[in-house]
């Protein structure tokens, strides 16, 4: 498809007049007003002659991924001041996908665009010379990336880092004899799967409670390769964060100096006039896509990287992931698809080591905020643990972790994390069980009314129909925990978590609310999934599908007031990034 033009009102990189905007705010007689207000916050005459750096902090007490960012912001400000600039901090919201599961999930994807707008408008209002983006989790990182692309002010990202894994004191009695017994190190995804195992009477109530209590071991992003860590790795691969920033554990003592160094570096970027659009190019974004594919990253990247690309006129779509995935081997797997966590990735050398492995496939000349090219960072790195990061000569799989399927059920595409699918389910034909919401399928799973071979179709969960394209990660994890991950598939116009494993296909387009073929599926219809051949088909004659859709009527809007009503009316399809649009 043709690339989108750059957003109006934002000049192309290199065409903007370089000025220190902060000094403009404070200059002359007119500057007395903002100077007076900043004096109330401790600024002095000397500060008014310095570059003004905005510290964009997504600190939150409702999200463990961002709970520690106040301390990180303080370290960043030390670095900014050491480099001779002034710092001013402001906040944006930071939701947690895990906490919002269920009804709260309607708000999560819409908040990505709210975050982007809030950062964009605050930066425009305050005329900062440069920005430091402090963020950790699923929608906050892409929202800030979208804002950085729109503003094109010198910007550096400081990622919050992964959470340390928890530990069980000893293997549980129920696990001790199981062939798939997990090690004593546990993370949040173990809680979701434990829900299914508890319901299937595979673990006791006491064991279930202990997993709940020990899984989250302090602040940071959940330790699996979910959307949070996927997007953090993508940011570093894009060159918008200093090397090592994405995977350094949240509470590692080295994070203090990394934050100070980032604060110093943003001042240099302002003086050098290095702007994010130098990194957000077609080549840079394709580097990020390849890193995502090679690490078995979250399918949600197929929403977020296209949304960022749209802001700069680059051509990144879900099909880009599928095209590049065919020549990008899978070099690592992380929980829940393996025993490794993102902390293990850091011990293996982090994203610099990943770049080192993938160097022959990457655009090595792409620049970074570190002042070195991607190729230079890759050349200086090495793999420190070959069990975590495999080489191109001996990958875990010949293709990357994400595949895009098409067919009579998904003419505009659907997305699956093929690296997390049992080989026995790469091709599957089974009868449809149709559900109109996440709650319906969750209740059916809890009632243990799902049969091996079934294909669970959950519709009206798309961007407009949900609204908000909810993440069905808990039903997916329950399915695996109940031992059905190698015999039952799930298909939805909603989405899944990066922590999802099993034959879970999301982002079906067009969605049911828009009259896509998923709206025509009936109980008992056969559905064929063929991931190697990239097919997803409703085994019903085309004329019958057409007849059903001709009789179909959209269900009444789920929400008829407030922001989500507006979002439902304006949001675009998942295969275009689910961005807000004005028609």
Q: What is the pLDDT of residues 311-367, one digit of tens each?
A: 999 999 999 999 999 999 999 999 888 999 999 999 999 999 999 999 999 999 999
Shortest CA distance to 458 belongs to which of 404, 506, 530, 510?
506
Task: Give the integer Cα–Cα distance in Å for 91 and 409.
Answer: 42
Looking at the chain, the number of H-run helices and the number of E-run strands are: 20, 14
Decide: 51 and 267 in contact? Cβ < 8 Å. Answer: yes
| pLDDT score recorded for residue 21 | 58
User: What span, in angstroms and rounded, lies between the C-alpha atoms of 388 and 242?
Assistant: 22
Distance CA 109, CA 95 (A): 10
Other C-beta atoms lying within 10 Å of the C-beta of residue 307: 24
Q: Which residues pair with 526 in a beta bridge?
A: 431
pTM of the model: 0.92
How many residues comprise the chain? 583
Q: pLDDT tens-digit profile of 264-301?
A: 999 999 999 999 999 999 999 999 999 999 999 999 99
Is residue 204 flagged as an active site residue?
no
- The position carrying tokens 């009527």 is 553
Give me the residues paired with residue 495 across strands: 471
CA 112 to chain centre: 10
Q: Pairing relation of β-strands 130-135 and 155-159?
A: parallel
Q: Which two tokens stand for residue 283?
A: 């080549």
Span 128-147, mean pLDDT? 97
- In the block, tokens 């006129």 appear at 313
Distance CA 243, CA 237 (A): 9
Question: The tokens 């070195």 sit on which residue?
Answer: 372
CA distance 500 to 191: 12
373-387, pLDDT tens digit by residue? 999 999 999 999 999
Q: Enumerate the β-bridge partners of residue 135.
A: 159
What are the tens digits of pLDDT across the range 25-60? 888 898 999 999 999 999 999 999 999 999 999 999
233, two tokens = 């790795």
| Average pLDDT rounded to a whole number, residues 1-5 | 36
Residues 6+ apart with CB under 8 A from 480: 193, 196, 336, 501, 502
CA dihedral defined by 219, 224, 228, 231, rounded to 10 degrees? 140
567 to 109, 143, 581: CA distances (angstroms): 10, 16, 9
- For the sheet with 52-57, list strands across it: 86-91, 52-57, 130-135, 155-159
> What is the per-residue pLDDT across 67-121, written as a single tens digit (0 to 9) for each?
999 999 999 999 999 999 999 999 999 999 999 998 999 999 999 999 999 999 9
**Spatial distance between the Cα atoms of 299 and 444, rounded to a whole number of angstroms:** 25
DSSP string, 47-74: GGGS-EEEEEE---SS-TTTTTHHHHHH
Rg of the chain's alpha carbons, rounded to an integer?
24
Maximum C-alpha span of the chain: 78
Helix (H) or strand (E) holding 214: helix 205-214
Q: Is 105 helix (H, G, I), strand (E, B) or coil?
A: helix
- 455-458 vs 489-492, strand pairing mode: parallel
The whole-angstrom separation of Cα 536 and Cα 534 is: 7
Distances, alpha carbon 458 to alpha carbons 107, 198, 473, 571, in Å: 19, 23, 12, 20
As a whole number, mean pLDDT of residues 452-481 equals 94
Total Cβ atoms within 10 A of residue 23: 16
Cβ of 280: how many Cβ atoms within 10 Å? 24
Alpha helices in 417-541 (DSSP H): 438-446, 473-481
For residue 90, what is the enclosing H or E element? strand 86-91
Dihedrals phi, psi of 124, to nearest 5 degrees: -65, -40
**Mean pLDDT of the 437-441 span:** 94
How far is Cα 75 from Cα 257, in angstroms, rounded to an integer?
Answer: 8
SS3 471: strand
In the numeric block, the tokens 């983006």 are attached to 133
> Catalytic one among 408, 497, 561, 568?
497
How far, in Å, CA of 268 to CA of 266, rounded?
A: 5
What's the pLDDT score for residue 20? Answer: 54
Tokens of 284: 């840079």
> What pLDDT is stored for residue 171 in this prediction?
56
CA distance 187 to 222: 7
Let me know: does 548 contact 512? Beta carbons within 8 Å. no
Q: Would you state the pLDDT for residue 170?
A: 63
Closest CA to 16 of 168, 154, 209: 154
Task: Give per-residue pLDDT as tens, 161-177.
Answer: 999 999 987 654 544 44
Q: What residues pair up with 88 in beta bridges, in sequence order?
A: 54
Mean pLDDT taken over the chain = 92
Please determine, for residue 579, whether its predicted confidence score (pLDDT) is greater than 50.
Answer: yes
């Amino acid at each position: 498809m043709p690339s989108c033009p750059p957003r109006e009102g934002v000049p192309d990189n290199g065409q903007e007049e370089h000025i220190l905007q902060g000094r403009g705010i404070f200059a002359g007689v007119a500057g007395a007003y903002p100077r007076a207000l900043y004096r109330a916050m401790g600024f002095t005459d000397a500060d008014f002659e310095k570059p003004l750096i905005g510290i964009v902090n997504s600190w939150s007490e409702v999200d463990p991924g961002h709970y520690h960012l106040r301390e990180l912001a303080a370290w960043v400000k030390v670095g900014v001041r050491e480099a001779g600039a002034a710092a001013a901090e402001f906040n944006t919201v930071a939701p947690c996908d895990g906490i919002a599961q269920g009804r709260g999930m309607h708000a999560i994807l819409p908040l990505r665009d709210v975050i982007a707008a809030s950062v964009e408008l605050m930066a425009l209002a305050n005329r900062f010379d440069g920005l430091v983006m402090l963020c950790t989790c699923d929608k906050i990182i892409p929202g800030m990336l979208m804002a950085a692309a729109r503003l094109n002010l010198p910007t550096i990202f400081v990622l919050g880092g992964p959470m340390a894994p928890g530990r069980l004191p000893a293997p549980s009695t129920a696990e001790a004899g199981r062939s798939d017994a997990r090690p004593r190190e546990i993370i949040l995804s173990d809680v979701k799967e434990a829900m299914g195992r508890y319901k299937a009477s595979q673990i006791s109530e006491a064991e279930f409670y202990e997993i709940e209590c020990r899984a989250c071991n302090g602040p940071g992003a959940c330790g699996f390769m979910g959307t949070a860590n996927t997007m953090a790795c993508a940011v570093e691969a894009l060159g918008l964060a200093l090397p090592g920033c994405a995977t350094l554990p949240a509470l590692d003592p080295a994070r203090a100096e990394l934050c100070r160094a980032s604060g110093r570096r943003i001042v240099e970027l302002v003086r050098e006039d290095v702007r994010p659009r130098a990194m957000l190019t077609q080549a840079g974004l394709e580097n990020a896509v390849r890193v995502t594919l090679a690490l078995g990253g979250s399918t949600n990247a197929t929403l977020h990287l296209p949304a960022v690309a749209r802001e700069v006129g680059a051509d990144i779509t879900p099909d880009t992931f599928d095209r590049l995935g065919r020549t990008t081997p899978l070099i690592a797997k992380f929980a829940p698809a393996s025993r490794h966590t993102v902390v293990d990735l850091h011990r293996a050398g982090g994203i610099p080591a990943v770049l080192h492995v993938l160097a022959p496939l990457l655009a090595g000349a792409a620049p970074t905020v570190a002042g070195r090219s991607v190729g230079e960072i890759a050349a200086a790195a090495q793999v420190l643990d070959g069990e975590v990061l495999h080489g191109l000569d001996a990958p875990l799989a010949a293709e990357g972790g994400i595949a895009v399927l098409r067919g009579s059920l998904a003419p505009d595409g659907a997305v699956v994390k093929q690296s997390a699918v049992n080989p026995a389910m790469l091709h599957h034909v089974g009868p449809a069980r149709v559900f109109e919401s996440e709650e319906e399928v969750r209740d059916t799973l809890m009632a243990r009314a799902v049969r091996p071979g079934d294909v669970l179709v959950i519709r009206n969960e798309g961007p407009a129909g949900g609204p908000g394209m909810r993440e069905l990660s808990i039903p997916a994890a329950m399915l695996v925990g109940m031992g059905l991950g190698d015999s039952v598939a799930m298909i939805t116009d909603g989405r899944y978590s990066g922590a999802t494993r099993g034959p879970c296909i999301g982002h079906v387009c067009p969605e049911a609310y828009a009259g896509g073929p998923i709206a025509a599926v009936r109980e008992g219809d056969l559905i064929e999934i063929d991931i190697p051949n990239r097919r997803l088909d409703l085994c019903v004659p085309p004329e019958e599908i057409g007849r059903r859709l001709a009789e179909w009527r959209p269900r009444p809007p789920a929400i008829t007031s407030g922001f989500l009503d507006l979002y439902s009316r304006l949001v675009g399809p998942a295969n275009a990034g689910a961005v807000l649009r004005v028609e």
